[in-house]
Amino acid sequence: MGASRVEVERIFALQSEYKWTAKVSSAGERKEHLRRLRSELLSRSADIEAAVIADLPQPPTPEQPREVMWSCGAIDQTLENLDDWVRPERWEPSPWLPGTQPSVEYEARGVCLVFGPWNVPFHLAIEPTVAAVAAGNTVMVKPNSLTPATAQLVCEVVREVFDERLVAAFDGGDDVAHVLLDQPVDHIFFTGSPAVGKLVMTAAARHLATLTLELGGKCPAVIDGTHDLADTARLVGGGRHVNGGQICFAVDHVWVQRDVCEAFLSQYNSWIEATLVVDGAMNPAAATPIIDQRNVERVMGLIEDARSRGARVVRGGRLVAGQPRLIEPTIILDAPLDSKVMTEEIFGPVLPIQTYDDPRDLLLRMRAAPKPLALYVFSDDEDFVAMMLAGTSSGGVTVNGFGTHVSEPKVGFGGVNNSGSGRYHGVWGFREFSNPRAVFVRGEGDLIEAFAPPYGATAEAVVGAAFGQAGA
């Protein structure tokens, strides 16, 4: 049973009062909160891994549990850099404002509401919370109810580490989410689908809350054949099948130059055989199942819609025997551009492959689609890469790789329009949860009078200089 309206409103009232205390906390105090969080994550890493696998079984990894490792990495980078991030940015004054001191100070936004997704259920509830705490906010965290074991662990960790006035976690389903959205919070951070993102944006508009939307979209890979096709197939395969294809920046579909389509298809099939198949059958231990039966039916519906409309399903297209939530690696050729598999985000182990002849025609087709979270360009031709970058728009781009732009915190991660708004990771997350407040300290001279009536020659000169015009 989830939190009641009374409980949500009680916590919101506490945090609304405490946010003024959190705002003036020092970098050292904020880092101490994050150190305690890091210690708790490490002490409970086995529990966290077990909860994530119970909700969404994944192939084993030799390193530390992934979601704990990623969360600790975000904390470590914040601990290392927070002293620098919180310092005001001071600027030299403009020539017409001598003796003054303009600066930008990053102040906390206030009460922040963080919604975690189900596909990376622990880390993507924790990392935004780390950024929000680092920026001096209070935080209300809502983990995803589709991953109940992980949601419970998120709540337990938060309650163990933080005073509820600073950070509180709420278990429960959509009813709890709606109650949280009813609160006039200062900022909302949502990770999920574009469809639900629109509902969150509508709720934010009721209170004019600022908003970060980390959504998804149909992230294309473009292949011109000049980059090694075996390497391309390996990276596309990893980018399509990571987490069973249930990642917002996964490779959603491929555009390949027609003359190299068969060669790419051969290499991609070889990668599947070497990576996901054992003794001629799908290896369940090498794959991640679909999150629930509703989404199994949705993905299978995409395949059947494409097949019924004349597309060729050249591999897969079936459930794995004895594994009701595991879909075979599926390849679909020449699906109509208005079919569901080409217009809806797939979030499954299905790769539609389309061919093109003229890159200029390809750009027109790509521009007709909503802007994706990521674009992947596989090419050793610098002119082709430049054409793709100039002729498209996306949240981020990786050239000859998969997801590398996501793993580099210095450049920030986020979408554009349909795929989201705002950026986070590293300093970008700190700033996303901050208001860049302009602070101007007046120096000698009564500058205010220069802009007040009567508008004489001196005022005109000042105004002209400010806008790059010749003064009177």
CATH fold group of domain 220-410? Aldehyde Dehydrogenase; Chain A, domain 2 (3.40.309)
What distance in Å separates the CA atoms of residue 10 and residue 26, rounded to the nearest whole number? 26
Q: Where are the domains of the chain?
A: 5-215+423-434, 220-410
Q: Is-catalytic flag, 449? A: no
Sheet holding 210-214, edge to edge: 167-169, 138-142, 111-115, 187-191, 210-214, 420-421
pLDDT value at position 468? 54
Task: State phi, psi for 343 to the nearest 5 degrees.
Answer: -120, -20
Beta bridge partners of 320: 323
Q: Which residues of the chain have pLDDT under 50?
A: 446, 448-457, 459, 462-463, 470-472
Q: Is-catalytic flag, 261? A: no
- The answer to whether the CB of 129 falls within 8 A of the CB of 166 is no
Half-sphere exposure of 221 (CA within 13 A, CB side): 31
Q: Which two tokens stand for residue 412?
A: 């920030």
The count of residues in the chain is: 472
- Going by their DSSP bridges, the two strands 167-169 and 138-142 should be labelled as parallel
- The answer to whether the CB of 312 falls within 8 A of the CB of 334 is yes
- The answer to whether the CB of 268 falls within 8 A of the CB of 233 is yes
- The answer to whether the CB of 335 falls within 8 A of the CB of 342 is yes
Burial class (CB in 10 A: 0-12, 13-18, 19+), 302: buried
pLDDT value at position 97? 85
Buried b (16+ CB within 10 A) or exposed e, 431-468: bbbbbeeeeeeeeeeebeebeeeeeeeebebebeeeee
The position carrying tokens 């025997």 is 321
Same fold, 5-215+423-434 and 220-410: no
pLDDT value at position 95? 87
Task: State phi, psi for 420 to the nearest 5 degrees.
Answer: 130, -175
Q: Which two tokens stand for residue 353?
A: 């492959």
pLDDT value at position 123? 97
Nearest Cα neighbor of 253 from 173, 175, 334 is 334
Among residues 67, 127, 214, 432, the one annotated as catalytic is 214
Nearest Cα neighbor of 395 from 411, 413, 376, 415 is 415
| Architecture of the 5-215+423-434 domain | 3-Layer(aba) Sandwich (3.40)
Give the count of beta carbons closer than 10 Å to the beta carbon of residue 24: 10
Among residues 72, 112, 219, 248, the one annotated as catalytic is 248
Q: What percent of the chain shows pLDDT beyond 90?
A: 86
